[in-house]
Amino acid sequence: MTVTSFVNRKALQLVFFIRGFWDNRIPYTEMNLYFWDTLEEWAQVEEGKSAPCSREEQVFWHLLHQIHFWPEQKLLLDDELRAELNICMDFLEGQGHYPFDCIGIRP
């Protein structure tokens, strides 16, 4: 699997998990398991890790980090954080502009 195919597949899943969590369809524990499963899958990616990160990949890693870094209540109740994450999710879904303040790095 390549970095690009991994990010393309996992980014949409990440958005699904976050939106599901905010809509009370997915518990926080499931979203946390998604985080760890994603890192485990990342370890299996073989092609493209030496290439520079795309904008999509940077936003993906930033968003993944945010859902793991912030506690459940902050993710649910902090309007400013939710607005930032929504901008990132919109970009990953191809509906928004590149969020300059959402730059992540590979683990």
Q: What is the pTM of this model?
A: 0.94
Per-residue pLDDT at 98 exceeds 90: yes
pLDDT at residue 26, as a whole number: 97
pLDDT at residue 103, as a whole number: 83
Sign of CA dihedral 63, 27, 69, 4: negative
Domain ranges of the chain: 3-92
CA nearest neighbour of 64 among 98, 106, 101: 106
pLDDT at residue 107, as a whole number: 92
Per-residue pLDDT at 99 exceeds 90: yes
Cβ distance 81 to 38 under 8 Å? Answer: no
